[in-house]
Amino acid sequence: MAMMKTKQEVKVQFNRIFKESNRTKKRYRVLKGSAGSGKSVNIAQDYILKLGDSRYKGANLLCLRKVDVSNRHSTFSELKGAINQIYGKKASSYWYVNESSMKLRSKVTGNEVIFRGVQHEKDREKLKSINFPNGDLTWIWIEEATELYEADLDILDDRLRGILNNPNLYYQITLTFNPVSAQHWIKRKFFDYTDDDIFTSHSTYLQNRFIDDAYYRRMERRKRQDPDGYRVYGLGEWGELGGLILTNYKVTDFDTSFSNFDFKVNAQDFGFNHANVIGEVGFKDGDLYLCKELYEFEKETNELIALANKQGFNKKLPMYCDSAEPDRIKMWQKAGYKARGVKKEPGSVHAQIDYLKQRTVYIHPSCINTQKEIQQWKWKKDEKTNTYTDEPVNYFDDAMAMLRYCIESVRRGSVQIKTFKGGL
């Protein structure tokens, strides 16, 4: 394939905090930071610029998540966004994008990007035989690196070896993550140990000059309502998010077709300043399967209805909602959805949590916001006694409320399963 001219008109803006990380050629580039710090956006732009630069011809990138398909809504999406941001209307002239196979290739250099996971042993074996038609595997980006085992990284590390023909090329593994636990192997391996091969970076949303005002206000609320979580997700500090409420969940790909479940429901937690969340949940053998989510801030009800319609939420399914918002429920009913309020009573939240804890909650990789919430949903901490109470933290729990609502009629036994199948 004939290569295009290498002169390109590009447009990119970086946060200053990442200037040194974009320049380093050290083998391990480890970016720890808060949510909203811009670290993933920065890495995506950095890679797209380098992969499309003729000086780095022969470089190829492997993007990795624990679950392969999670890449579609994270690394793949970020890199596509970087291409569009940098090249604008001329993006297709410089980059080939294959949506179905999740592959990117620079039309200038022939450099490629592929996406993989390490969830299963067969996935790890495939990593040992990765080859590219042009050049070598030189760079690896591990997003949400805390998902991986240390052994997973060791397998990847072994892949980066051999003499590189281009003197401008170098081997490098980049890790991006929120530092959830101070006990994690990443801290021991890269932050408690000094080595000339290691570059580390710490960034927060406060240093992100592109952050929107609404996100800033949300983080400020979290500072007041959930200080422990704010230290990790707001300041990017190492923490120990003990007292997690749900650990019985799995992020995995599955067929979301209605026929694969005993029944399905929709559920919704209303919000504006905090998230408004809608979930489509399938039930099979008593377990829950979150098939898709709609997760939006500062949207009016009519806007949310339009988004739900566009995303294809099934109007024939019952939709369980917060009963404290009867006017909103009526609007959803007028729009054709079978919206109804859940019955609230003393102790119902704890009963819902107990029910959820006795099942396995399967989360489709596309439901990235529910994944983030469930990983940090925890019990309140008594700072005087340093122990956890029996009350959940009432912050960043909107998707969790949606999950609580979705099981209400089943938990109470007030609706027959056949009701959920009727009319479909």
pLDDT for the residue 241: 64
Q: Which residue has the higher pLDDT, 395 or 403?
A: 403
pLDDT for the residue 228: 80
Give the N- to C-terminal CA distance of the chain in Å, as an integer.
50
pLDDT for the residue 303: 97
Q: Distance between CA atoms of 113 and 103, rounded to whole angstroms? A: 6
Q: Assign 37 to helix, strand or coil.
A: coil
Stretch (H or E) spanning 136: strand 136-143
Q: Distance between CA atoms of 202 and 67, rounded to whole angstroms? A: 25
Sign, CA torsion 62/68/74/77: positive
> In the numeric block, which tokens belong to residue 115?
């996406």
Sequence spans of domains, the chain: 16-214, 249-421
pLDDT for the residue 11: 64
Report CA Rg, the chain. Answer: 23
Strand ranges inside 258-412, DSSP E: 263-269, 276-284, 287-296, 318-321, 338-341, 361-363, 379-382, 387-392
Q: Distance between CA atoms of 151 and 140, rounded to whole angstroms? A: 15
Average pLDDT of every residue of the chain: 90
Q: Which residue has the higher pLDDT, 2 or 45?
A: 45
Asked: is 16-214 a CATH 3.20.20.70 domain? The reply is: no
pLDDT in tens, 102-142: 999 999 999 999 999 998 888 888 888 888 999 999 999 99
User: Are 67 and 251 spatial neighbours (Cβ–Cβ below 8 Å)?
Assistant: yes
pTM: 0.76
Single-letter residue type at 83: I
pLDDT in tens, 290-305: 999 999 999 999 999 9
> In the numeric block, which tokens belong to residue 79?
């890199």
pLDDT in tens, 86-109: 999 999 999 999 999 999 999 999
pLDDT for the residue 121: 83
Q: Assign 137 to helix, strand or coil.
A: strand
CATH number of the domain located at residue range(s) 249-421 in this protein? 3.30.420.280
